[in-house]
Amino acid sequence: EVQLVQSGGGLVKPGGSLRLSCVVSGFAFSSWSMAWVRQAPGKGLEWVSSINAGSSYIFYADSVKGRFTVSRDNAKSSLYLQLNSLRAEDTAVYFCARVHYGDYDYWGQGTLVTVAS
Amino acid sequence: DIVMTQSPDSLAVSLGERATINCKSSQSVLYSSNNKNYFAWYQQKPGQPPKLLIYWASTRQSGVPDRFTGSGSGTDFTLTINSLQAEDVAVYYCQQYAATPRTFGQGTKVEVK
């Protein structure tokens, strides 16, 4: 069974940092591109970042470029998102997802990041 | 960026009736090299992650009931839910993966009338 288990969300002050994790099981993690997608409270879906299997191709949304860093550890079947210089508008549920053909076929349960003073 | 616009924002359909959701992209997501539309549909229920329903505009994901049908090409796409069931109440999103950034529609909320 494919599972993507997320952790690392929480409440952080503006300007603060947080690291999100996504541990994968049930498929060959090292062979798949992965992505982060977020959803602000009551809002729609926003793609945040993607990383290919070998970490050689990494992309970010303009809204997070220079502040967020995606990485992965294939030996640990883990995906990470380092969130720095957080702003109120970064408040959202963050989902990790497996990249299928560019769509996303498996998703984590989501983790809430709240940026507030 | 490719802008995805869904219509309507919400709709109420009687159980057993058909629901139709439209999505229009600001530019074509059809690649002539392979004749594929880089387009997907998702279903999201409250408190849950999105669930992939359709990819390549019309290919049903494994396990998705055949009452869900995707159609369209280029810039105009449709998700049809035939014979709406109570468990189909959700928000539906379209997404393009023809270009980066990947972009989603704003969502369409489907309710039971």
Q: Are B29 and B98 in contact (CB under 8 A)?
A: yes
Name beta bridge partners: B19. B81
Please judge whether B101 and A61 are an interchain contact, meaning their C-beta atoms are less than 8 angstroms apart. yes
Per residue in A5-61, pLDDT tens? 999 999 999 999 999 999 999 999 999 999 999 999 999 999 999 999 999 999 999
Q: Are B96 and B4 in contact (CB under 8 A)?
A: yes
Residue A106 — pLDDT band, cuts 50, 70, 90? very high
Cα B54 from Cα B48, distance rounded (Å): 18
Least Cα separation, residue B38 to chain A (angstroms): 8
Over range B1-22, report the average pLDDT: 98
Least Cα separation, residue B109 to chain A (angstroms): 11
Q: Are A3 and A105 in contact (CB under 8 A)?
A: no
Per residue in B51-74, pLDDT tens? 999 999 999 999 999 999 999 999
Portion 23-82 of B in contact with A at CB < 8 A: 38, 40, 42, 44, 49-52, 55-56, 61
Per residue in A78-103, pLDDT tens? 999 999 999 999 999 999 999 999 99
Look at residue A52 in the predicted model and tell me its pLDDT. 98
Q: Are A22 and A3 in contact (CB under 8 A)?
A: no
Cα B91 from Cα A33, distance rounded (Å): 26
Exposure string for B52-69, b = 16+ CB within 10 A, e = fewer: bbbbbbbbbbeebeeebb
Look at residue A85 in the predicted model and tell me its pLDDT. 98
Least Cα separation, residue A102 to chain B (angstroms): 5
Please judge whether A46 and B104 are an interchain contact, meaning their C-beta atoms are less than 8 angstroms apart. yes
Please judge whether A95 and B49 are an interchain contact, meaning their C-beta atoms are less than 8 angstroms apart. yes
Burial class (CB in 10 A: 0-12, 13-18, 19+), B33: exposed
The 3-state secondary structure of chain A reads: CCEEEEECCEEECCCCCEEEEEEEECCCHHHCCEEEEEECCCCCEEEEEEECCCCCCEEECCCCCCCEEEEEEHHHCEEEEEECCCCHHHCEEEEEEEECCCCEEEECCCEEEEECC
Residue B3 — pLDDT band, cuts 50, 70, 90? very high
Cα B24 from Cα B74, distance rounded (Å): 9
For A47, the closest chain B residue by CA position comes to B102
Residue B43 — pLDDT band, cuts 50, 70, 90? very high
Q: What is the dihedral of CA A84, A55, A94, A100, to 10 degrees?
A: 160
Look at residue A70 in the predicted model and tell me its pLDDT. 98
Please judge whether B104 and A47 are an interchain contact, meaning their C-beta atoms are less than 8 angstroms apart. yes
What three-state secondary structure class fits B68?
strand
Look at residue B31 in the predicted model and tell me its pLDDT. 96
